[in-house]
Amino acid sequence: MNEGNSMQQKTRALCDGPAVRVNSWNEWSSLRRIMVGRARGTMVQAPEPAVARDWPEHGFPRGTYGPMPEDLVAAADEQLNALARLLMDRDVLVDRPAEFDFSQRVSTPDWVQESMFGCMPPRDVLIVIGKELLEATMSQRSRWFEYLCYRPLLSQYYERDEEMKWEAAPKPRLTADSYDEYFYSEYPGLSDEQKVQRVRANRLLLRDAEPLFDAADIVRFGKDLFVQLSMVTNRLGFRWIKDHFPDHRVHAVTFDNHYPQHIDATLVPLRPGLVLHCGERTANPDMVEFFRLNDWEIVTAAKPAGTYDTLPKLCFCSPWLSMNLLSLDEKTVFVEAGEVAQQEQLDRLGFDVIPVPFWDVAPFGGALHCATVDIERDGELQDYFPHRYGGF
């Protein structure tokens, strides 16, 4: 039996064994159960209004698509399996999504898409807020049906936890009306200042034709949820989240990042009162003051070891995956092994830092936080921002 199958059996046995408790209010409380994605089956996506991959030097010129190369898949799954073992060694229960055929053509009455994507970054699709597990809308046609590979696990959670609330945001139509058809032809030619203004106004790829959001654009600070408006999350998506969680304070935020996509490589809470921020992506001054007024220290993340030129092949992510860390508890963090400066910074801040080799996973959609979904953490709902400021 190969290691991948053995790992699948071990993690499935965990889901079939100890009691399931869906509960997670923040990003840092003690971790008890987690989902870890898998690389096998991932596709270089077929073209669609939201995605057009172009890697001619790696065999995928614009307009082409197909399975990720086997050597990349094997390397990524080796690191994902190692992360799963490391978590289990720390007494965390680990679940894995079912294998799925992402190469298949999919369709709705509105469109046909020649391929799907994959299930390495479950954080994009799923989020636990309190006792609720929420499935995001997604904004790419290739990812519309991605929820299906997680449904076997979600069904088990729901069957075995009577307090779990299971919700799915409204499935979008994703017709041409949802996208700015001129974005990719016009936006790259804008000046940096023009791009920043577009980002702040959320006038990017998505139109406000329907609610759209990725779960990875939500970061949890107890009673306060911060939702980044981005390339994959629009204002109607934010509004839906705000309406759906009336007992939370839900804040729309932007950062001066020309192509924003997912907040967990820009704003990363580490423990109550301490948050890591990507200094290259300026935050709203009112948000900064809001944090300071509530006794939160904002620390500028260490510079990544690599650059866009040194990213792994077929990688569409940012070097700032360096700060896409995973918290085991308020004192312990998993950090990419190659990001020594980030490890040293966190060590100086008093954390027990666990280096985890993970850059081979990046071409499949992210790093340690992206590759996981915390299903259970200790704790209850708390208010970490008792004071208001500006629009916050």
Comparing C-alpha atoms, which of 131, 190, 186, 187 is closest to residue 162? 131
387 catalytic per annotation: no
What is the per-residue DSSP string for 237-273? HHHHHHHH-TTSEEEEE-BS-SS---GGGTEEEEETT
Return the ∠ at Cα 73 (arms to 69 and 94), rounded to 5°.
160
- Catalytic residue among 214, 217, 360, 374, which? 214
Write down the pLDDT at residue 9: 47
The CA R_g of the chain, rounded to the nearest whole Å, is 20
Exposed e or buried b per residue across 150-185, where buried means at least 16 C-beta atoms within 10 angstroms of its C-beta: beebbeebbeebeebeeeebeebebeeebbbeebee
On the question of pLDDT at 160 being above 90, the answer is yes
Phi–psi pair at 172, nearest 5 degrees: -80, 160
Question: What is the C-alpha separation between 265 and 291, in angstroms, rounded?
Answer: 18
Mean pLDDT within 180-194: 96
Query: What sign has the CA pseudo-torsion 283, 325, 275, 125?
Result: positive
Taking only the tens place, the pLDDT of each residue in 298-328 is 999 999 999 999 999 999 999 999 999 999 9
Residue type, 127: I
Taking only the tens place, the pLDDT of each residue in 216-239 is 999 999 999 999 999 999 999 999
**Residue corresponding to tokens 């092949």:** 313
Taking only the tens place, the pLDDT of each residue in 358-367 is 999 999 999 9
328 within 8 A of 30, measured Cβ to Cβ = yes
30 within 8 A of 378, measured Cβ to Cβ = yes
262 catalytic per annotation: yes
- Catalytic residue among 251, 262, 277, 369, which? 262
- Catalytic residue among 149, 224, 370, 374, which? 370
Helix (H) or strand (E) holding 93: strand 93-95
Taking only the tens place, the pLDDT of each residue in 79-117 is 999 999 999 999 999 999 989 999 999 999 999 999 999
> What topology is assigned to 3-377 in CATH?
L-arginine/glycine Amidinotransferase; Chain A (3.75.10)
Write down the pLDDT at residue 214: 98
370 catalytic per annotation: yes
Taking only the tens place, the pLDDT of each residue in 164-174 is 999 999 999 99
Question: What is the C-alpha separation between 259 and 280, in angstroms, rounded?
Answer: 12
Q: Mapping DSSP to helix (H, G, I), strand (E, B) and coil, where does residue 108 land?
A: coil
Q: Residue ranges per domain, the chain?
A: 3-377
Q: Mapping DSSP to helix (H, G, I), strand (E, B) and coil, where does residue 129 land?
A: strand
Question: What is the C-alpha separation between 365 and 77, in angstroms, rounded?
Answer: 13
Query: Two tokens at 143?
Result: 């990812």
Torsion angle (degrees, nearest 10) of CA 18, 24, 28, 34 = 40
Query: Two tokens at 304?
Result: 């990544």
Taking only the tens place, the pLDDT of each residue in 1-60 is 455 554 454 445 444 578 899 999 999 999 999 999 999 999 999 999 999 899 999 999
